[in-house]
Structure 1
C-alpha cells in the first residue's frame, strides 16, 4: 500500500516537472497514471475500512482499530497528494536598497561593562 503512495508522490513530482517545462503531452500521460494509482489507493482504503467494520462486529477491537488507523493514514496521504500538483511560482528575489552597493556588515557588538569587583 505504501508503495502506491510513493509511486503517486513520484508521479505528482513528475507531473510538476513536465508542467514546468511545458510538456503538455507528457504531463497528460503522467496525470492518467496518477489517476490510476489514486484509484488503487482509494480501493485499498475502502478494503481497510470494510475490514475494520468486520473486525469490530466480531469484537476484535484492536485489529479493527489498526485497520481503521491504516485507512486514515492512507486517506491523509491521498488527500495530501491529490492537491493541485502544479508547481508554485518561485519567490521573487528581495529588492536591494538604492544607493547601497558592495558588502554590508552587521553593526559592531558593544561588549558589556565589567561591573565585578
Structure 2
C-alpha cells in the first residue's frame, strides 16, 4: 500500500516535468493517473479504518492498532502530496517578494 504513495510521488514529479516543459497533453494524462492513484489510496484508507474498527469491536486491539496505524501513515503520505510542492533552491523571487522593506524616517 505504501507503494502507492511512492507511485504518487513519482507521478507528481512527472507532472511537474511535463508542466514545466509545457507538454499539456502528457501533463493531462499524468493528472488522470494521479486522480486514479488518489482514489485507490482513499479506498485503501477506508478499508483499513473499517477493518480496524471491526477488530477493535471484537477485542483484537493489537491488530486493530496495526490497521489504524497503516491507515494513518497512508493518510499522512497522501496529505503530504496534496500540499504545494516545496520551492526549489535558487528559484527567482517574485517582484513582490523582492521589494525592499520600508524604513521609518527618524528624528522628524
TM-score, length-scaled by structure 2: 0.78
What is the CA RMSD across the aligned residues, in angstroms?
A: 1.8
Query: In the TM superposition, what whole-angstrom CA distance separates every residue of 1:79-99 from its partner, at most 9, and x where no partner exists?
Result: 1112245x8465239xxxxxx
Q: Which structure has the bigger radius of gyration? A: 1
| Equivalence for 2:72 | 72
| Equivalence for 1:98 | none
Query: In the TM superposition, what whole-angstrom CA distance separates every residue of 1:42-68 from its partner, at most 9, and x where no partner exists?
Result: 000000000000000000111111100
**Structure 2 unmatched runs, 5+:** 94-108
Which 4+ runs in 1 deviate beyond 3 A? 87-90
**Structure 1 unmatched runs, 5+:** 94-117
Alignment of 1:78-117 (within 5 A): 78-84=78-84, 88=87, 90-92=90-92
Aligned-partner Cα distance in 1 for 2:83–2:28 = 16
TM-score, length-scaled by structure 1: 0.72
| Equivalence for 1:51 | 51
- Number of aligned pairs? 92
| Equivalence for 2:30 | 30
| Equivalence for 1:17 | 17
* Partner-residue secondary structure (3-state), 1:22: coil
* Partner-residue secondary structure (3-state), 1:19: helix
Aligned-partner Cα distance in 2 for 1:8–1:18 = 15
